[in-house]
Amino acid sequence: MKLFVAIDLSPITETIIKKVTEIALKTKATIWLVHVVQPDPDFVGYDVGPQTERDFIAKKYQKNHRELQQIAEGMKGKGLKVTPLLLQGPTVETVLSEADKMDADIIITGSHGHGMMYNIFIGSVSKEILNQSTRPVLIIPVRD
């Protein structure tokens, strides 16, 4: 089984990883652990903007990469086959296209459990993945 796990590195990530670990140990699954970063359009390619802003964004991406690697190493320590991926692009579209490229059996993500007003104004990544995916989706509900 191939699990495509999209995480946002927020406080709910720990709960999602625990559940994915449980599933993967039972099914001997291969895991792609994915975090998608959405750069400000002005900074795509790092070719514009003051150097201090480019440096700030580069440090943020490096921090995200380190966190993702640490999570993956912890899962590998439990005997799981995990490949961490830090991807850049629009979150929903990137998750769906990469899951297709990896021929994932299921996409797993979490839901913060925000209320209706938040979802109206901000939106819900997990809801959009569920609505647009042609693959099975498991949403792990977690409260912040």
CB 32 within 8 Å of CB 72:
no
Q: Give the model confidence (pLDDT) of 100-114 as tens digits.
A: 999 999 999 988 655
Which element (helix H / strand E) includes 20? Answer: helix 13-27
In the CATH scheme, what is the code of domain 2-141?
A: 3.40.50.620
Q: What is the pTM of this model?
A: 0.83
Tokens describing residue 139: 């949403």
Q: Give the model confidence (pLDDT) of 71-95 as tens digits.
A: 999 999 999 999 999 999 999 999 9
